[in-house]
Amino acid sequence: MTTRLKKTVVLVGMMGAGKTAIGTALARALGVPFVDSDDEIEKAANMTVAEIFARDGEPFFRQKEAQVLERLLTGAPCVLSTGGGAFLSPDNRAAIARSGVAVWLKADLDLLWQRVRHKNTRPLLRTENPRETLRGLLETRTPAYSQAEVTVEARTNYSVEEMTQKVVQALLEHGDILERT
């Protein structure tokens, strides 16, 4: 199937939802470039996200994230994976709505925890009880993520390929983002 993407697809959702993994496969499937806001911030700073949080603090990281999003949203349509906190800012949500379409990869706590528990790269989860921290973040962030134009449910038994196909299907059904050529 060949397709034409009319707007940038912006993947949003919690840490571990699969934004980077699905975004990479989705861009390949649609034949468009893939960009990831965390990667771009890391490249520009020549530091990891965790190092930026530790040295400059979260507010500084959020400023960089907003700037990087503005930049990545200009230009030809692509797939843009965001960091887990990017869609919480009303300004970021407005910028995304202007130039793209937000797709929420919606996953429950058990799935997210299974995916993030073995990695130490997420500074917000460096707490005494990271599962409880993750639960709290999921609860407080869900109202923001719910504002995405498109929602695709992630489930434990969906492979990256299956999830990617579900996103493609949702974009085709939306009607105004992706067309068959």
Ligand X SMILES: O=C(O)C1=C[C@@H](O)[C@@H](O)[C@H](O)C1
Q: Which residues bind ligand X (CB under 6 A)?
A: 15, 38, 49, 83-85, 122-124
Helix axes 19-30, 160-174, angle to 10 degrees: 60
Rounded CA gap, 137 and 124, in Å? 9
Q: Which residues in 29-68 are b (16+ Cβ under 10 Å) and which e?
A: bbebebbbbbebbbeebeeebeebbeeeeeeebbebbbeb
When binding is defined by CB under 6 A, the residue of 87, 104, 145, 158 that contacts ligand ATP is 158
76 is in an annotated binding site: no
Whose Cβ is closer to ligand ATP: residue 6's or residue 43's?
43
Burial pattern 96-134, b for ≥16 Cβ within 10 A else e, equals: beebbbbbbbbbeeebbbebbeeeeebbbbeeeebeeeb
Applying CB under 6 A, the span of 11-19, 26-34, 51-59, 169-177 interacting with ligand ATP comes to 11-19
Residue 7 makes contact with ligand ATP by CB under 6 A: no
Minimum distance of ligand ATP from residue 178's CB (angstroms): 20
**By CB under 5 A, is residue 37 in contact with Mg ion?**
no
37 is an interface residue for ligand ATP by CB under 6 A: no
Choosing from 35, 83, 87, 125, the residue that interacts with ligand ATP (CB under 6 A) is: 83
Binding-site sequence positions:
16-21, 38, 62, 84, 122, 141
Q: Which residues are annotated as a binding site for ATP?
A: 16-21, 122
